[in-house]
Amino acid sequence: MTEKTGLNRRRFLRAAASGLPFASGLAALLPSPLRASTAQRAISRVRPGDAGWPAGEKWDGLRRQLGGRLIRVESPLTSCSDSGEAECAELFETLRNPYYLGDDPALTQTLGWVDAWTSQPSAYAVTAETTGDVVAAVDFARENNLRLVVKGGGHSYQGRSNAPDSLLIWTRRMNAVVVHDAFVPSGCSGEVQPRPAVTVGAGAIWAQVYDAVTTKAGRYVQGGGCLTVGVAGLIQSGGFGNFSKAYGMAAASLLEAEIVTADGEARTANACMNPDLFWGIKGGGGGSLGVVTKVTLRTYDLPEFFGGVFANIQANSDHAYHRLIAKIVEFYGETLFNPHWGEQIVFRPDNSLTISMVFRGLDRQQAETIWRPFFDWLAAASEEFSLASEPTILAVPARHFWDPEYLGQLDGIVLTDERPGAPDTNIFWAGDREQAGQVLHGYRSTWLSSDLLQDSRRRDLIDALFAASRHWSVSLHFNKGLAGAPPGAVEAARDTATNPAVVDAFALAISGAEEPPAYPGIAGYEPDTKVARRRAQEVNQAIGELRTLVPSVASYVSESDFFEENWQDAFWGANYSRLLSIKDRYDPGGLFFVHHGVGSERWSADGFTRLP
């Protein structure tokens, strides 16, 4: 009886939605509290085939308004079952190219998460080139009660940049990068000192920005570590890169943003104009408050060198491995816990430990001197430990750290976009290839407080890392915790929407499991659900060991568990109530929805039905 009533209710709401354009226009004339109430009553979005789905002439009208920049979206995966085995194999190999994935509006950088979501194309996509294109798309979605999705880089592990039966705003072509010698945010003249900065279109990726800012202009901008991640999405999630321990979060460098809100207004947000929206953009999560169309970020002086230290160490017993964990934790806490050092150390079930650390402001000799005591300790215990190869310690002129031409001369550092005619600047780190087209089995994270490095708690951390590594690999990302960063970087992070736990954390612990490109329903390429579920359990157990060390769960919104139960507190802590009030002010009807985004608890899991 309940199910039948629910179906009748949905049919009624879908039928009522056909009159939504008029209702929407009426609501615009009402005071804001009544406007919010009216929006809440229109609680079912329409799908293709529903009575309220826009007729063909409406879509044609939008296409004309956009100068042809409206397309039907078709996934190349749908044709795989109809093509030959060789063609399908070639497609799945191509799916390992992040530039191919990013250049197709039907695809996402992660193809899915077993038992959570599968990448599926929208019905239509606006291939936005201007802010006006975004405004038109937002207005059309609001007036026709459509599910709306926004995608730039498409790197969301949570599946936030795709949804079937939706209208996609695809910002890939909004990728202009403009470097400023002295930038003053709008409305802030006389209140804010001019600063070197860079203005970046929402669809740009970090490889493009680093090439313009660092390689060509000789400056530093705090962005992401992965070169194909979208700029706007990273800023809205908070954002960490290789050198965040020195420069802070990417969002904290935001000086100004342009954002199209649910009413179709293009708003400037900075410290002087719409400051509440400005704060919410800085870490409140992409796709919840509006469509960011461009951002302006502070740039910094460039140090002389960037560099890295890489090693793989094998312990010959559990006891030796526990000793190794104790030594590296001690070494980090006493020697590397400062703004010079970032990136990660990985602890594995096979008693191996992988060091992939980066540094800034040091030359190679200085880095070698810092690490010599640790490697001497290993050499003195050669009966317990072995190195897969000699440790690699290198330093490069900072201006060349993201230089495509320079990196192309180094063996095995970067890979290139192999498609015919692809620009030479289309590079990505060789270590990131496994992420392209991946299907996740499990993924969890937790911030670890810096008090765990103190003598009184260090043993607890060592034991928990060892216990976690018995289940699955765990990596400590030191650049994704701001304890040990300069005071200015810490204070700037406090003025973002990110969970305040980040400023006291020395690292973000991450455990994840995945498989190469796969897709349900394609014979020979389907995800291995049995293995995935087993691995997901092992990931959960690994992070569970570390979560016993923290008083409350705090997790990074972009690198977190799809199934996180108390996600509001985990992602934003005490900041969530403020974010929700900003959401209610600028999007009272809930036009913008993403999984575990601000206000999403008011909607069904697919974002189509508002909950009573």
SS (H, E, C) 128-175: CCCHHHHHHHHHHHHHCCECEEEECCCCCCCCCCCCCCCEEEECCCCC
Q: Which residue has the higher pLDDT, 18 or 230?
A: 230
Residue 83 pLDDT grade (very low, low, confident, very high; cuts 50, 70, 90):
low
Rounded-to-integer distance, Cα 282 and Cα 259, Å: 12
Residue 84 pLDDT grade (very low, low, confident, very high; cuts 50, 70, 90):
confident
- What tens digit of pLDDT does each residue of 446-464 get? 999 999 999 999 999 999 9
Residues 6+ apart with CB under 8 A from 27: 34, 35, 38, 39, 589
Q: What residue type is assigned to position 76 of the chain? A: P
- What tens digit of pLDDT does each residue of 123-141 get? 999 999 999 999 999 999 9
Rounded-to-integer distance, Cα 612 and Cα 594, Å: 18
CA angle 115, 119, 125 (to 5 degrees): 150
- Residue-averaged pLDDT of the chain: 93
What is the mean pLDDT of the segment spanning 183-204? 96
Q: Mind giving me the DSSP string for 512-569?
A: EEEESS--TTSTT----HHHHHHHHHHHHHHHHHHHTTSSS----TTSS-TT-TTHHH
pTM: 0.91
Q: By the 8 A CB rule, do 586 and 289 touch?
A: yes
Overall residue count recorded for the chain in this entry: 612
Dihedral angle, C-alpha 110, 116, 118, 120, nearest 10 °: -110
- pLDDT higher than threshold 60 for residue 276: yes
User: How many Cα atoms occupy the beta-carbon half-sphere of 278 within 13 Å?
Assistant: 20
CATH 3.30.70.600 holds for 305-398: yes
Q: Could you tell me the residue ranges of all domains in the chain?
A: 305-398
- What tens digit of pLDDT does each residue of 143-186 get? 999 999 999 999 999 999 999 999 999 999 999 999 999 999 99
Phi-psi category of 571—alpha, beta or left, where left has phi over 0 and alpha has psi -120 to 50?
alpha
What is the mean pLDDT of the segment spanning 402-409? 96
Phi-psi category of 444—alpha, beta or left, where left has phi over 0 and alpha has psi -120 to 50?
beta
Of 433, 432, 443, 472, the closest CA to residue 112 belongs to 443
- pLDDT higher than threshold 60 for residue 362: yes
- What tens digit of pLDDT does each residue of 286-344 get? 999 999 999 999 999 999 999 999 999 999 999 999 999 999 999 999 999 999 999 99
Residue 43 pLDDT grade (very low, low, confident, very high; cuts 50, 70, 90):
confident
Residue 93: enclosing H or E segment and its boundaries? Answer: helix 85-94
- What tens digit of pLDDT does each residue of 484-527 get? 999 999 999 999 999 999 999 999 999 999 999 999 999 999 99
What is the mean pLDDT of the segment spanning 202-228? 98
Exposed, middle or buried: residue 39 (CB in 10 Å: 0-12, 13-18, 19+)? buried
What is the mean pLDDT of the segment spanning 74-102? 91
